[in-house]
């Protein structure tokens, strides 16, 4: 029998080389699997972060709208966003006499209550609508119902 002898005189010296190459392949596959998993987990976390930020923006917009609905006047043009109070001559007279005037004169900076979309905080959008913009199907005129339908 003849043994395969390497240049250094040891039999089967190529086996160690094959084992090293095999271990490098296994380590490379594990590193690739780990990198893919980390990329997927990072993308999932970014989606979750965007969802949480969107919910926070929506809740902040809702709280701001509720604050405005509670604390600001509603004129014929919509919900005012600051404390500007234009008054007619009669209302100024009422104020001078100590009475509280109620002004429905539009200011010009109102949020319309007809369902018009507005941009809220961050990426949130909102729309406000009061009952005046709704059509009563039971009590409206036949012409209005036909146009609505």
- pLDDT (tens place) for every residue of the chain, 149 residues total: 455 555 555 666 678 889 999 999 999 999 999 999 999 999 999 999 999 999 999 999 999 999 988 888 777 788 888 777 667 788 778 878 877 666 677 778 888 888 889 999 998 999 998 877 676 777 777 887 787 77
CB 117 within 8 A of CB 126: yes
**What's the pTM value of the predicted model, to 2 decimals?**
0.60
Number of H helices, E strands in the chain: 3, 2
CB atoms within 10 A of CB 124: 19
Question: Can you tell me the distance from the alpha carbon of 72 to that of 63, in angstroms, rounded to the nearest whole number?
Answer: 14
Q: What phi and psi, each to the nearest 5 degrees, are found at residue 114?
A: -115, 15
């Amino acid at each position: 029998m003849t043994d395969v002898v390497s240049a250094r005189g040891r039999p089967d010296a190529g086996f160690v080389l094959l084992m090293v190459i095999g271990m490098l392949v296994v380590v490379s596959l594990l590193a690739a699997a780990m990198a893919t998993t980390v990329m997927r987990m990072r993308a999932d976390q970014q989606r979750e972060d965007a969802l949480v930020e969107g919910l926070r923006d929506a809740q902040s917009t809702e709280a701001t709208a509720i604050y405005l609905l509670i604390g600001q006047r509603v004129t014929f043009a919509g919900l005012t966003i600051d404390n500007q109070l234009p008054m007619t001559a009669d209302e100024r007279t009422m104020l001078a006499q100590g009475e509280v005037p109620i002004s429905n004169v539009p200011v010009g900076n109102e949020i319309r209550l007809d369902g018009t979309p507005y941009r809220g905080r961050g990426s949130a959008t909102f729309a406000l609508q009061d009952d005046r913009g709704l059509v009563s199907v039971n009590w409206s005129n036949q012409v209005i119902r036909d146009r609505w339908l």
